[in-house]
């Protein structure tokens, strides 16, 4: 299904293309027939309704934002209305409180702690119900994931698990500590597209495509290299 846009010159979703799971997010946006932009420099932001900051290594991503002068660019475009979604490391960059270190973008009122589950060997998969996102269980992949310990009054909790928060949002920011892009599920990408004002984003697609496999985004990685 083609995407219909609200009346606006901001008509694409960008994926920050500095480090981390870029191709995986691009694959999901393509499957939803959404216009997208790999974002490397300031002019790449000009037509973005939303920006995805992918999972990766948050310290590395923060340094690259500084090196390429993109931190202030992101803040400026967010101020004019660009929505932002941070997955895992991206969520860490968006938090205004990080246990044991200084924040980076400080765009959502929450406290987050990196690597809260332990080492790479403690990564795991499970499922969760996010009523605001889908009426079906959503597959969740946690890889050296952070935990959101608390959120402020103007932040909506989308998914709470055990003693931590796994997904939350405010008016302009969405954060998930897991990796929707590493599953066949499209629901979080569809939800973010709607948050950005893009409608009709693959609304007939099921929550999880049983025919999806990792080769779909691996081919994008080969093209990018």
Residues annotated as catalytic (active site), given as ranges:
88, 179, 181
Q: Return d(Cα 195, Cα 31) in angstroms, integer.
A: 18
Q: For residue 111, what are the CA distances in angstroms to 52, 89, 218?
A: 20, 14, 34
Q: Return d(Cα 143, Cα 182) in angstroms, integer.
A: 10
Q: 177: closest CA among 59, 98, 88?
A: 88
Q: 209: closest CA among 181, 183, 184?
A: 184
């Amino acid at each position: 299904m083609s995407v219909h846009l609200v009346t606006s010159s901001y008509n694409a979703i960008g994926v920050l293309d500095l480090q981390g799971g870029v191709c995986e997010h691009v694959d999901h946006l393509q499957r939803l027939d959404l216009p997208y932009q790999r974002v490397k420099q300031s002019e790449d932001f000009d037509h973005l309704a939303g920006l995805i900051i992918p999972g990766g290594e948050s310290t590395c991503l923060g340094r690259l934002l500084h090196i390429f002068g993109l931190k202030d660019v992101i803040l400026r475009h967010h101020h004019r209305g660009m929505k932002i979604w941070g997955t895992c490391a991206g969520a860490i960059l968006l938090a205004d409180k990080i246990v044991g270190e200084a924040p980076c973008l400080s765009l959502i009122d929450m406290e987050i702690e990196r690597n809260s589950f332990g080492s790479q060997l403690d990564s795991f998969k499970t499922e969760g119900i996010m009523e605001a996102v889908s009426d079906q269980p959503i597959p969740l992949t946690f890889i050296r994931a952070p935990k959101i310990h608390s959120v402020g009054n103007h932040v909506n909790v989308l998914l709470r698990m055990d003693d931590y928060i796994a997904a939350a949002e405010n008016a302009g920011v969405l954060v998930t500590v897991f990796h929707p892009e590493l599953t066949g599920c499209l629901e979080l990408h569809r939800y973010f597209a709607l948050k950005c004002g893009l409608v009709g984003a693959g609304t007939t697609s099921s929550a999880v495509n049983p025919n999806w496999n990792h080769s779909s985004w691996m081919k994008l990685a080969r093209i990018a290299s």
